[in-house]
Structure 1
Amino acid sequence: MSMGDELVGLPFTDSAPTERGDAARNRLLLLSAARRLLAERGADAITMDDVAAAAGVGKGTLFRRFGSRAGLMIVLLDEDEKVEQRAFMFGPPPLGPGAPPLERLLAYGRERFRFVWEHRALLSDAGRDPQTRFNAPATLHRTHVRMLLETAGTTGDLEAQADALLALLDADYVTHQVDEVGRDLEQQARAWEDLARKLCGR
């Protein structure tokens, strides 16, 4: 089974139905305002009130479109998530198809550490809401890791093993390790690779 076959039916983020013209305009205004505020202040320093005011729309419109602050953060991640997803599903090896499964798994870990660190504030916000923490992109990542473990010949509970690897890539955990424990991304990536190799019997 190919990677594309394995992941058929798992949608990318923000796969909303076509919107009316005014709703689509409001969405673009809100996302543009949110991105501008993120660039100026960082995710921790903006509120939904700030975003609505900067976009010139009511806060009710913001909540109707995105549901929650976490929902807004997920959509802001959408473009970069899609780029990363396409890279590990269809891009060149070792991240994409064509390399042995363990090599792909190790390449995925390296790439995901980079992505998580770069987007840690948005991922942290999104991860605090149970409705967005286990969304379509999270399911796709989990399916990908589990599939690579399986094709690498890993035995045992593949669900638990995939969850263990992904837990080490959680944005809050990675940030805590850097800021509080003093383990930089390279150290964390090496530890992740050690675990991946052991799970694959290497």
Structure 2
Amino acid sequence: MTPPTERADAARNRLRILDAARRLLEVDGSADLSLDAVAKEAGVGVGTVYRRFHHRAGLVYALIEDNETRFQEAFARHCADGTPSAHDRLRTFLHGLADLVEDNRELLLLAEAGAPAGRYHSAPFRRHHEQIAGMVAELAPAADAAYTADLLLMAFTPGLFAFQRTERGWDVDRIKHGLEALIAGIGAGPEPGAAAPAP
């Protein structure tokens, strides 16, 4: 059954609004990311933007989720090419996550400022945690996969990532290199005689 014209128009408007918001972020950062400015840039009525996203936080999270979809699609394509090892998949995932955070620093900092603990309850964070924990469990069966996933995801806390990039002047390659060292340590397994983690 063909979707109604209104639904197709709404989908096109959503894409126009998200694209307009990205352009504003590229030019002006987060300062001018008001719904009024986004509506003007997108060439749609302000009411259209408010009905779709309600407030700036709603628009920010829509942009994050849209970018997350692209990241997941790229990772799925990588995994479809043959059968990469758990080490290779984890490396690719964390490198891709570093690029995702770098490309969306302004958005993620906006979201973090609005709800500092909101990241841990978000769908992307839960999804990333589940994926990383699964790869860690495959790479190092004796490791506490859930805890290790939490530690790895701490590297992508928006405020910390931005601090490393701006205040410390680290480039993304340095962050990726550090992540590779962590992956190597995970793959090496626990010390002989180490106690197994509690269930």
- 2:167 is paired with a residue whose SS is helix
Residue of structure 2 in register with 1:139 after alignment:
126
Partners in 2 of 1:25 and 1:87 — Cα distance? 23
Q: How many Å apart are 1:106 and its aligned residue?
A: 1.5
Report the residue type matching 2:45 in the other structure: V
1:106-153 CA-to-partner distances (Å, cap 9, x unmatched) read: 122222212211221122223344496232222222111111001112
TM-score of the superposition, structure 1-length normalised?
0.72
Residue of structure 2 in register with 1:57 after alignment:
45
Report the residue type matching 1:117 in the other structure: E
When residues 127 and 98 of structure 1 are mapped into structure 2, their CA distance, relative to the original with a 3 A threshold, is farther
Tell me whether 1:149 sits opposite 2:105 in the alignment. no
Q: Match for 1:125 among 107, 110, 116? A: 110
Q: Match for 1:175 among 156, 162, 173? A: 162
Q: Higher relative CO (CA 8 A, sep ≥ 6), structure 1 or 2?
A: 1
TM-score of the superposition, structure 2-length normalised?
0.73
When residues 191 and 91 of structure 1 are mapped into structure 2, their CA distance, relative to the original with a 3 A threshold, is closer
Residue of structure 2 in register with 1:111 after alignment:
96
Partners in 1 of 2:130 and 2:94 — Cα distance? 14
Partners in 2 of 1:86 and 1:119 — Cα distance? 17
- 2:188 is paired with a residue whose SS is coil
Partners in 2 of 1:39 and 1:178 — Cα distance? 17
| Consecutive unaligned residues in structure 1, runs of 5 or more | 1-17
Contact (CA 8 Å) 2:165, 2:171: kept in 1 or not? yes
Q: Match for 1:98 among 80, 83, 104? A: 83
Q: Aligned Cα RMSD in Å?
A: 3.0
Report the residue type matching 1:62 in the other structure: V
Residue of structure 1 in register with 2:63 after alignment:
76
| Consecutive unaligned residues in structure 2, runs of 5 or more | 190-199
Structure 1 or 2, whichever has the larger Rg, is: 2
Contact (CA 8 Å) 2:129, 2:150: kept in 1 or not? yes
Partners in 1 of 2:50 and 2:118 — Cα distance? 14
What is the aligned length?
182
Q: What's the % identity of the aligned pairs?
A: 30
Partners in 2 of 1:84 and 1:47 — Cα distance? 26
